Chains A and B, each alone.
Chain A
Amino acid sequence: MTKKRSPILRIILIFFIVEVVLVFLSGNFSKQLEIGFEHGKFRIRHVETEYDLQEKITEEFQIDEYYKQHGETPEIYGSKKLYNSFKFLSKFGTVPFNPMGTFQLLRMLLIVDIMLLIMALFIRKTLARRPAKSQIIFELIYTSLEEFVSETLGEDKAYYTPYIVTLFLFIWVCNMVGMIPIPGFMEPTRNLNVPLGLGFMVVVVVHFSAIKFKGAWNHLQNYINPVKNPLFLLDIVGEISKIVSISFRLFGNILGGAIIILVVSSLVSFVVFPIGLNLFFGVFVGTIQAFVFTMLALTYIGVEIAE
C-alpha cells in the first residue's frame, strides 16, 4: 500500500519555500518587497515603507482616537447610508460621542447575530431522524452542556441549559469571527462593553434565580443583616468583583491575543507564522475562554441556589 501525500501538504510545502525565498530577498524588515509588472516586465524591488506600529495599533484598537487625531473622514466598511443614519441618531443621546467605534462594534455584533440565526435556521431545516454531520455537532454541544448543567444544578433544573448554550455559542462565534480576513472585522469581545454587558447579565440571572428559589426577603438578608451574615459588606463588594473578574478575563485574553497577532505579523512580513498564532489565540484561547465564561456563570448560579 503506497502512502499518498495529500495535496494540501504539497501546497503548504510550496508556500513555505516561496516564503523562505521572499524573506531572504526582502532582507530588511523596514523595507518591503513589491512584486509586479512594470512596462511589461516582471520585476521585484524594495520599497521603503513608513510603517508606524504605534499608529497601526491605534487604528486597529482605538478607532475613535485615531480619527480624532487624523481628522480624516472615516473609511466605512459597510453601508454608507447605515452609517449616516447612525450618526444622525447619535446626536440625540445625552452624551455626544464619536459614532465610528460604536458603529463598528454594532456592525460586528449584527454580523455575529446573523451568523447564529443562519446556523440555527440551517440546522432546523436539516433535522432528520438519521442525523447529518452538522446536526451531530450541534447535538453534541447541546448534550454535553446539558450534562454539565444537570451535574452542577441537579436534574430538575436542567431548564438553565438554553441560556448556557446561548452564552457559549455567542461568545464562541464572537471569538472566532475576528479570524475572517476582511478589513474592519474584529472580535466584538475585544471591546470591553460586550463582556461587561454579558457579565452583568450573568449576575442578574444569578440573583433572579436566587430570589426565585430562596425568596426575596431570605436572599436580601445576606446583604443587609449583620446578625445573619457578619461579612455582608464584603459580599456586596464580591458581587461587583464578580462582574469585573468574569468580564475582564474574557476581554483581556481576546485583546491581548489580537495585539500579539498584530505586532508579530507586522514584524514578519512574508511568513505565514501568524496563521499559527491565529490557531492558538483565536481557536484555542477563544474556545477555552468561551467555555470558562459559561462554566463560571454556571458555577455562580449553582452556588446561589445550592441551599
Chain B
Amino acid sequence: MNLTLAQGIVKASALLGAGLCMGMGALGPGIGEGFVAGKACEGIARSPENASLITRTMLVGQAVSESTGIYSLVIALLLIFST
C-alpha cells in the first residue's frame, strides 16, 4: 500500500482520533455503569426480596447509559475503516 504524505497524515490522524474517541468515550459510561451497579447493590442489600426487579432495571439502565460509549465505538470504527 503506497500512500502520499497527505494521505499518510490523514490516515495517521484518523487512527489517533479513533483511539482518543474510544478512550474518552469509554470514561463516561464506565463511571455511570459503576454508579448504577453500586446503587443496585445498596438496593438489594436493603430489600433482598426485590432482587430480581432491581437486577432487571439495573441491566436495562446500564444498557441505556452505555449507548454513548457505543456511539463513540461506531465513530471510531468509521474513522478506522472509512478513511
**Is B64 in contact with chain A by the CB < 8 A criterion?**
yes
Query: Which of A61, A253, A259 is in CB contact (< 8 Å) with B70?
Result: A253
- Chain B's closest residue to A295 (CB) is B60
User: Knowing A58-B81, A259-B77 touch, does A252 contact B70 (C-beta < 8 A)?
Assistant: yes
Q: Let me know if A200 is at the binding interface, CB within 8 A.
A: no
Taking CB atoms, residues of chain A closer than 8 Å to B77 are 255-256, 259
Smallest Cβ-Cβ distance to B63: which chain A residue: A292
A249 at the interface (CB under 8 A from B): yes
CB atoms of A62 and B74 under 8 A apart:
no
Task: Tell whether B73 is near chain A: CB-to-CB under 8 Å.
Answer: yes
When A256-B70, A256-B73 are in contact, do A249 and B63 touch as well, CB less than 8 Å?
A: yes
For the complex, count residues of A whose C-beta is within 8 A of B. Answer: 19
Distance A296 CA – B61 CA, assembled complex (angstroms): 10
Q: Per DSSP, are chain A's interface residues mostly helix, strand or loop, or mixed?
A: helix
Give the distance in Å from the alpha carbon of A288 to the alpha carbon of B71 in the complex.
Answer: 18
Q: Are B74 and A251 in contact (CB under 8 A)?
A: yes
How far apart are A126's CB and chain B's nearest CB, in angstroms? Answer: 29
A248 touches B63 (CB 8 A): no
- A248 touching B71 by the CB < 8 A rule? yes
Given A57-B81, A62-B81, the answer on whether A289 and B71 have CB atoms closer than 8 Å is: no
Which residues of chain B are within 8 angstroms of A84 by Cβ–Cβ distance? none
Please report the C-alpha to C-alpha distance between residue A296 and residue B64 in the assembled complex, in whole angstroms: 9
State how many angstroms separate the Cβ of B67 from the closest Cβ of chain A.
5
Inside 8 A of A288's CB, which chain B residues have their CB? 59, 63
What is the bound-complex CA distance between A57 and B81, given in angstroms? Answer: 9
A291 touching B60 by the CB < 8 A rule? yes
Within the complex, the shortest CB–CB distance from B19 to chain A, in Å, comes to 15
Cα A62 to Cα B60 with chains together (Å): 31
In the bound complex, how far is the Cα of B63 from the Cα of A296, in angstroms?
Answer: 11
Across the two chains, which residue of chain A brings its CB closest to B76? Answer: A256
Q: CB within 8 Å of B: which residues of A?
A: 57-58, 61-62, 245, 248-249, 251-253, 255-256, 259, 288-289, 291-292, 295-296
Closest 4 CB pairs of A and B: A252-B70, A292-B63, A249-B67, A252-B74
Q: What are 15 sample pairs from A and B whose C-beta atoms fall under 8 A apart?
A: A57-B81, A61-B81, A245-B67, A248-B71, A248-B74, A249-B67, A251-B74, A252-B73, A253-B70, A255-B74, A289-B63, A291-B59, A291-B60, A292-B60, A292-B63
